[in-house]
Structure 1
Amino acid sequence: MTTTLTSAIKPKAEDSFAITFAPLFIEEIYAKADDPANGAVVVMSGMVRNNTDGQPVVSLEYQAYEPMALRVFYQIAADIRSFWPDVKRVVIHHRIGHLQVGEISVLVAIGCPHRREAFEACQYAIDTLKHNAPIWKKEHWADGSSSWVSIGACEQSTESC
């Protein structure tokens, strides 16, 4: 029997990971990333916008394979600590369910003594999440049509999702 590294990764107690139907709040995520040793907390907020490639969007619906998505989140945190060992806190929360334009779909926060590393780690986290996490979204357009897309497919479109 073989096991992958991601199945063996366990989250650190000071980090926070979630896939939830509940609304996400920047203040809550910031507080989870805060630590007395931080000189910076960088927060990335992904929101439902009103269009994709110029086509009007009225809402999105997110689904995730939660056990695997959380393992991806844990691996992202482990990678971050490997690349930026001074990082104190990693927070990754993603919504699922039906979201309206303007609602927050994902929040990533990195707490670190130095701003450069916090920015770099935060960008790494969201880029890697979008590429690797088994999360899909259904775009509901103004004309009544809709379609599912993996958030990883967004990286290959002309516009970042």
Structure 2
Amino acid sequence: MAESEKRRDVFKLSRDWLSVQEVVDTVSSASCGAISVFIGTTREDKVGGRKVIGLEYEAYEPMAQSEFRKLCDDIRERWPTVTHVCVHHRLGWVKVGEASVAMAISSPHRQDGQQAIQHCITQLKAHIPLWKKEVYDTQETSWKENAECWWAAHNKSPPDTDTQL
């Protein structure tokens, strides 16, 4: 990373359609040879004979920003060459086929960025206070927990401090 370049960590919650190009542009750097990208989309799924037609997202925004800061610190500790991190996540209604989350991480070489992007999405689902409600073709709804959340199962205990953000 060039001495004059300051690391950027950007987390944006938005009710608007996500721009993958905006996320990529945010992490672009002349000192990086790799930009790793993850796009999570709302998928059509069958649940109990009902078809998912979309998701409704909510967040506790101040805590989400705080947890994102911890996540970036964790990423930089594990992969010191990571230069920039950008995550945009939708709130509100997201229909099937649309992006719910778009994230990009830049690094001088691909391996660190690819490992960091996988870690980023897993930890985002586990620690960032975002909630999703499935909406079905029957107009019924159901709140869903991410399997990665340590509190999702009653008999799970919190993660070790080595893996906790």
Please, what is the CA RMSD of the aligned residues? 2.0
Cα distance between partner residues in 2 of 1:31 and 1:153: 31
**Structure 2: how far apart are the matches of 1:61 and 1:90?**
25
2:16 corresponds to: 22
Note the 1:12-161 alignment, pairs <5 A. Answer: 14-51=8-45, 55-150=50-145, 152-153=146-147
Letter in 2 for 1:96: L
Deviation at 1:14, TM superposition (A): 1.9
Identity within the alignment, %: 39
User: CA shift at 1:144, angstroms?
Assistant: 2.2
The structure richer in helix per residue is: 1
Counterpart Cα distance in 1 of 2:46 and 2:108: 37
The letter of the residue matching 1:112 is S
SS at match of 1:15: strand
Preserved CA contact (<8 Å) 2:27 2:35: yes
User: Bigger radius of gyration, 1 or 2?
Assistant: 2
For 1:90 and 1:154, the matched residues in 2 are separated by 21
1:97-126 per-position Cα deviation (integer Å, ceiling 9, x unaligned): 011111111111100001010000001110
Q: CA deviation at 1:153?
A: 3.6
Count of residue pairs the alignment pairs up: 145
Deviation at 1:40, TM superposition (A): 0.5
Query: 1:20-77 deviations in whole A, cap 9, x for unaligned?
Result: 1111111110000111111100110011111155852111100000111111111111
Given the two structures, how large is their TM-score scaled by the length of structure 1? 0.83
